[in-house]
Amino acid sequence: MTKKFTFRGGSHVHEHKETAGLKTVRLPEPSTVSIPLSQHIGAHAKPVVQKGDTVCVGQVIGVVESGLGCPVHASVSGVVKEILTRHNAQGVPVQNIVIENDGLHTMCPDIKPWEKPLEETTAEEIVSIVRNAGISGLGGATFPTYAKIQSAIGKADTVIINCAECEPYITANHRLLLERSEAVIGGLEILMHALNAKEGILAVEDNKPDAIALLQKAVKGKEKIRVCVMKTKYPQGDERQIVYALFHREIPAGKLPADEGCMIVNAETSAAISRAFYRGLPLVSRIVTVTGDCVKEPKNVRSPLGASYRELIDFCGGCVKEPKKLISGGPMMGQAQWDMDAPVTKGTSALLVFSEEYDKINQYHSACIHCGRCVEHCPMHLMPNYLTQYAQARKYDEAAKFNVMSCVECGTCSYNCPAGVPIVQYIRVAKGALRAAKK
């Protein structure tokens, strides 16, 4: 029997993976795209094109001159219509480059495969390829991947591809594993070469038996790579839970997986690395699961970055019910959106559209009844009930003493709270106040 890995705490949430059997389909070319110059953690990029310029697919349109950050590329060919500022999902004003699509899909002439075989490529060259391709964590975290590789060099000897996809509803990674497993494994091999790693692991939850079987077949004969089957439990996709499940090692507060010898990237990020290395393609599109009870025909859609949420939802037949909530990402960690015309970015793993019937969270919020369920289920072994009380009383220093900054905002506590206390929201307020005070 296959050994199954797991972690302590967490929850068995309703999976709702109804779109897992639906092949990825390509969004028809949008007439315009609005590409934000910040789709990653770090400094915003600065535009290097002007209104009226002609651009082609994969052309650099924004650069980060110094510090952490990724370049931004055009996802369609056409003419720059305008450069405007719009607020992103966090309410931060970000410059967007709006491109009128000429429908010709003219590729940038700079796009060509890397000139050397992998064995002759240095770690620094791989860092540079990944940086130039604008790749940031596609699981939703959007941390620049080149910086992750850089910081893991000399520290990590194990590369883990995070194929858990533990958030309910999202099946974009599942489809990628079934349809492009060679790209996911290719990215893993590139990362293993960069880090001179002794082992590569594809970590998949056991609710994807077809993907597990396919990956096991695909890695047969690759001695350093193995497929590890994880028990389906939320939040198995959190990096700390993966490391604990696989090696029973806890990552201390303030440390990273690389400090425990591991580098972890999401499956779609791995595929993007492979595309950048073998085909020279920068990151200009991603797979988005579009679903929810309002959506007529849920789909997994490959969308160019910058296409609007509305276009994706219309492509899925539009809404059959009055939408109450639109979420970018999963229902546990995603963010509610207010603008249907907001663009798909590198962090948009899903678009969920729910009616009032499904949006009942916190409707009956009462006081804490001290049941302890939030403590029992917290994968970070925190005391969310105390953190909430301190946040409510604005005693943020007390919350800090109870390690509020270690909260990964997974939402497991809120999900399990019988009183409906919006625990994560209070925790976010406390974390924000502590960050502001530090600044």
| Binding residues vs ligand SF4 (CB under 6 A) | 368-374, 378-380, 382, 384-385, 388, 407-413, 416-419, 421, 423-424, 427
Helix (H) and strand (E) counts in the chain:
13, 18
Backbone angles phi, psi at 48, to 5 degrees: -120, 15
CB of 422 to ligand SF4, least distance (A): 10
User: What residues contact 1, with CB distance under 8 A and at least 6 apart?
Assistant: none
Is the Cβ–Cβ distance between 316 and 299 less than 8 Å? yes
In angstroms, what is the minimal distance from the CB of 138 to ligand SF4?
22
Are 312 and 288 in contact by the 8 Å Cβ rule? The answer is yes
CB of 115 closer than 8 Å to CB of 122: no
106: closest CA among 129, 71, 79?
79
Q: Nearer Cβ to ligand SF4, position 295 or 424?
A: 424
Nearest to ligand SF4 of 160, 417 (CB atom):
417
| CB of 234 closer than 8 Å to CB of 207 | no
The Cα–Cα gap between 128 and 144 comes to 12
CA-wise closest residue to 37 among 426, 346, 245: 346
Helix, strand, coil % in the chain, rounded to nearest 5? 30, 20, 45
Shortest distance in whole angstroms from residue 103 CB to ligand SF4: 45
R_g (Cα) of the chain, nearest Å: 21
Residue with tokens 């000139």: 115
CA 378/CA 411 separation, integer angstroms: 9
Return the C-alpha torsion angle 76, 82, 87, 92, nearest 10: 90
Q: Find, among 369, 406, 408, the residue nearest to 385 by Cα.
A: 369
The CB-of-127 to ligand SF4 minimum distance in angstroms stands at 31
Q: Work out the widest C-alpha separation in the chain, in whole angstroms.
A: 63
Report the residue number, 154 or 372, with the smaller CB distance to ligand SF4: 372
Q: Give least dist CB 11 to ligand SF4, A.
A: 9
Residue with Cβ nearer ligand SF4 (234 or 315): 234
Residue number, 7 or 309, with CB nearest to ligand SF4: 7
User: 119: burial class by Cβ within 10 Å (0-12, 13-18, 19+)?
Assistant: exposed
**Which DSSP letter does residue 343 get?**
B
By C-beta, is 212 or 410 nearer to ligand SF4? 410
Name the residue with tokens 């092949």.
23
Q: Quote the least distance from Cβ 336 to ligand SF4, whole Å.
A: 16
Q: How far is the CB of 389 from ligand SF4 (least distance, A)?
A: 9
- Residue 78, H or E segment: strand 78-87
Q: How far is CA 427 from the centre of its chain?
A: 21
> Minimum distance from CB of 120 to ligand SF4 (Å)?
43
Report the nearest approach of ligand SF4 to the CB of residue 86 (Å).
Answer: 29
If the CB atoms of residues 418 and 432 are measured against ligand SF4, the closer one turns out to be: 418
Nearer to ligand SF4, 137 or 411 (CB): 411
Residue with smaller CB distance to ligand SF4, 89 or 391: 391
CB of 420 to ligand SF4, least distance (A): 8
In the bound complex, what is the minimum distance in angstroms from residue 361's beta carbon to ligand SF4?
Answer: 13
Which is nearer to ligand SF4, 104 or 371 (by Cβ)? Answer: 371
Helix ranges (H only) for 63-152 are 123-132, 145-152
Contacts of 179 (CB under 8 A, 6+ apart): 23, 24
Considering beta carbons, is residue 198 or 401 the nearer one to ligand SF4? 401
